[in-house]
Structure 1
């Protein structure tokens, strides 16, 4: 089962306020994603009425009462009690409207990275075990149409989600992925796949088939590679194989980054080489991470760097850059919640949201790209510089594994170099 230390932390905060261990609904406790030094990492409303359904004491009091005052707690109580929690609180800022929580970052980074190591292994193992309860509709349309290709991509990704999620493993119905809205057999839950439309005409694309679509995206990737690396990309066999791979990956990503039951509008004009930039940028950052880690290992072999210390011997308090905290907080600690939010399977609903994972990936690599530009990872092998480099290498190894895990769920292979 996926570990989710942030969700557990929300439940502990709720219990601190209400005295009852009960999950809160919606966005009552909010995780912040930006301006963390100003607004804190987490906040919750300080108005009693916002919490009325969770409080045991009747809420018929003077409106001047704030939540903390109503429950007889102070900021210092929250900080002190958190010292016994998995995540600890460094500072609390209470305003009339909200209570803002600033986590103790060193502890949170250590906990988050350890959690990611276990979660990435759990996901890899779960996908290897697979599931036979997710099928694509055998009666669907032309097997080589782009809409049919989208059905196949969705089927593979939903199979992976169902392998990971306990609630899917415990659910007995077969899940059928289809582009047809017709009814299905008893005991079968249908996920409707939206058609692929031509962005220029606005109608379902039937002239260009799946193989031609992949070739168009491979052509885009060739143009991007030629612009960056020169004409040799059209003649070198390794380049051809590489471009074939990223072209296929770009197609999968493009078909999955829209909500499954919505139509996808595709621009088939590759003259601007712009339609595949999202996937290319993600794979480029995969390669960039791999290159950094490979270069470090090469320098260890050459004797220029010492071997990387064990995780438990690394001082993560040296990760003081704001970008480092954003990467760990948003994309390591925040990852399990994204996976959880991609699946809603119960008696009333059968919904999968791989587009959320696509959006998560895009945001993650943007943050990584900013980090590369601002921070030099591989430094001179001087004694006083090594400890922070060790902490950064460990962090990047786990971020790299998380990035590859996301791609694995989407059935996209990562790349080791560009």
Structure 2
């Protein structure tokens, strides 16, 4: 799994090397020595610990499984715990504040999030409590993010491993690109990074568009891999590249003297944004903005991008950018699906507008005013898109 996370460019905490469990084993023997009453134990088993008392005495019953009682302490379990402890100490000091600690800063101010499948939740709760029991400086704040099962629809043959899944998607991305550009670019060094980013985007949007706690069905068919598949991460990245091409075209034309330099934003006349497009009844929404509806008409065209995508974005950030670690109880939730669906909708709205409106018109002075306000609008669209992609750990692409 660590290999798969590395392929997805996820900065996941890990021990620098195989962590030693010697110290943990000594502490465990002190705790369990009276638990087996001198009876012979099977190889690899040190004894049992009562975890239920730990839960009750520290008031942590909210969220823990009611069946948690005795924990069978094994060498394997201590090895996993040693790796977890080692990963915590080796987490970069400049990482996100509150998500890791170091021996110098102490652990009562850091937060550890256990990302675990629903099948392994019970075992991970044991590990959580065992950590507190055996390590004096174990993190006081530990939360659990439970992920639902992943099912594969129409799998071609035996179930594939996570790295095989990445390789499978990467091959589909290369194939889609070959069909689009009329040639195999998979071995072209100039496209290596692009194909890597597109593969990661495809997988992340596929997996994160479903709420983490829900069951996820992976459809391995490649119908959504192309830039025309509007539900895919490839489609979002394609429109990101279209924006980059647009602004690069303006820059080149400006350097050639066809367009003037971009004027101060304060001098722009935004009343020139009046592109109209038919909006089906009920399709307009105002996001989180509290507008007096009796004084507003549904926005059209260019204003649709503003009201449906740009203005609601700060509110979306406040809901999704940070895990709610202050809520009571053991579990936390992540709202990745909100970001993915927002970026897909933004890309669809932008694509519709871009296909209909010619932004960079003929270099005639009387048209520059409208061109600049449209570019300014799309600057905001680009900023929103780049920020949303950054939240998913995806860099923007300048071409596809």
Same fold (TM over 0.5): yes
> TM-score scaled to structure 2, two decimals?
0.58
Question: Retained in 2: the 8 A contact 1:136–1:178?
Answer: no
Q: What does 1:334-345 correspond to in 2, within 5 Å?
A: 334-342=312-320, 344-345=324-325
Cα separation, partners in 2 of 1:414 and 1:337, compared to 1, 3 Å: same
* Distance (Å, rounded) in 1 between the aligned partners of 2:363 and 2:144: 57
1:252 to 201, 204, 225: 204
> Are 1:375 and 2:377 matched, yes or no?
no
Question: Retained in 1: the 8 A contact 2:210–2:337?
Answer: yes
SS at match of 1:300: helix
Partner of 1:331: 309
SS at match of 1:191: strand
1:406 to 388, 393, 397: 388
Q: What does 1:10-409 correspond to in 2, within 5 Å?
A: 173-179=111-117, 180-182=120-122, 183=125, 184-185=128-129, 187-200=141-154, 207-270=159-222, 272=223, 274=225, 277=229, 278-321=232-275, 322-342=300-320, 344-345=324-325, 346-348=327-329, 350-409=332-391
Higher helix share: 1
Partner of 2:90: none
Deviations 1:209-262 (A, max 9, x none): 222211211121122212211014245332343223211221122121111112
SS at match of 2:355: helix
Question: Retained in 2: the 8 A contact 1:135–1:174?
Answer: no
Gaps of 5+ in 2: 1-10, 20-75, 81-94, 100-108, 130-139, 276-299
Cα separation, partners in 2 of 1:375 and 1:362, compared to 1, 3 Å: same
1:172 positional shift:
6.5
> TM-score scaled to structure 1, two decimals?
0.56
Cα separation, partners in 2 of 1:231 and 1:162, compared to 1, 3 Å: farther
Gaps of 5+ in 1: 1-131, 144-158, 164-170
1:336 positional shift:
1.6
Partner of 1:108: none
SS at match of 1:351: coil
Cα separation, partners in 2 of 1:187 and 1:242, compared to 1, 3 Å: closer
Deviations 1:120-163 (A, max 9, x none): xxxxxxxxxxxx9x9799999xx9xxxxxxxxxxxxxxx97989
1:267 positional shift:
2.4
* Distance (Å, rounded) in 2 between the aligned partners of 1:381 and 1:224: 36
Cα separation, partners in 2 of 1:247 and 1:310, compared to 1, 3 Å: same
Cα separation, partners in 2 of 1:135 and 1:236, compared to 1, 3 Å: closer
Q: Which has the larger radius of gyration?
A: 2
Question: Retained in 2: the 8 A contact 1:136–1:177?
Answer: no
The number of aligned residues is 259
* Distance (Å, rounded) in 2 between the aligned partners of 1:282 and 1:135: 28
